[in-house]
Amino acid sequence: AGEGYLPGTMASAEEILDVVIDRRSFKPTSEACPFCVEAMVKENGSKCIGVCRNPQNVPGPIFQPHAMQTVEDVVTLIITAMRDKDVPRRDHGVQVLWEYAVEHGNMERSRFFGYSSDMYHFDHFIGKALSTYDQFVYNTGHTIKSVSTMSDGRTRVDVDLFDRVGAKSEWIFIMVKRTFGKYEGCIQAHRIVKSDFPRLEEI
């Protein structure tokens, strides 16, 4: 009695390694996953069809464009979602960013990130967003400095962002009102770039 791990106590590394795991009590993915359980066994012996590993096979995000949202609301929602990137599920914050990108799902290439990129596949978008907007992830706050109208009619929002360790970076959100589709009349992001981005009017 009293040997090994006891609930409510901290086990040492040695004690953890001493615990025998009965792997017969664990179901493989092909049996536990509702997508794979009825699938045919493939030549390699696996039944996994990879559906649950596709980042696009998730419900819509909690935050979505709405006609009552202001430009400031949308910027704050995007930054907040990226701060809590993995709440309530992995990469949910990136999914919110995607939903608020006015050109998401378009076949034509976009300059959303400042550089030319496709916006058709969400799984491609994830990697580019996490790389370009790394400072957004787990950020510690932001300040909207100014909101102005650009010469082409788009709305420019200048933002100070404080990353996970409190370091400040300056960003420009270029916002537009969507004119068609299910988000018609809603504010969405057209471009999100660093404040020192050259040739801002050209993107």
Condensed to tens digits (0 to 9), the pLDDT of residues 24-59 reads 555 555 555 666 666 677 777 776 665 555 556 677
Residues 6+ apart with CB under 8 A from 163: 135, 136, 138, 139, 140, 169
Q: What is the pLDDT of residue 201?
A: 84
Residue that wins the pLDDT comparison between 138 and 23? 138
| Residue-wise burial string across 144-177, b where 16 or more C-beta atoms lie within 10 A, e elsewhere | eeebeeeeeeebbbebebebeeeeebebbbbbbb
103: left (phi over 0), alpha (psi -120 to 50) or beta: alpha
Per the prediction, the chain carries an average pLDDT of 86
Residue that wins the pLDDT comparison between 19 and 27? 19
Residue that wins the pLDDT comparison between 198 and 188? 188
Does position 1 have pLDDT exceeding 50, yes or no? no
Residue 128 has a CB neighbour count (10 Å cut-off) of 16
Where in the chain are the domains?
Answer: 13-53, 71-202
Pick the CATH number of 71-202 from 3.40.50, 3.40.1350, 3.10.450, 3.40.630: 3.10.450
Residues 6+ apart with CB under 8 A from 50: none
Whole-model pTM over 0.75: no
Which of 39-43, 92-96, 120-124 bottoms out in mean pLDDT, i.e. has the lowest?
A: 39-43
Q: Phi, psi at residue 18, to the nearest 5°? A: -75, -15
Does position 23 have pLDDT exceeding 60, yes or no? no
Bridge-based pairing of strands 141-149 and 187-194 is unpaired
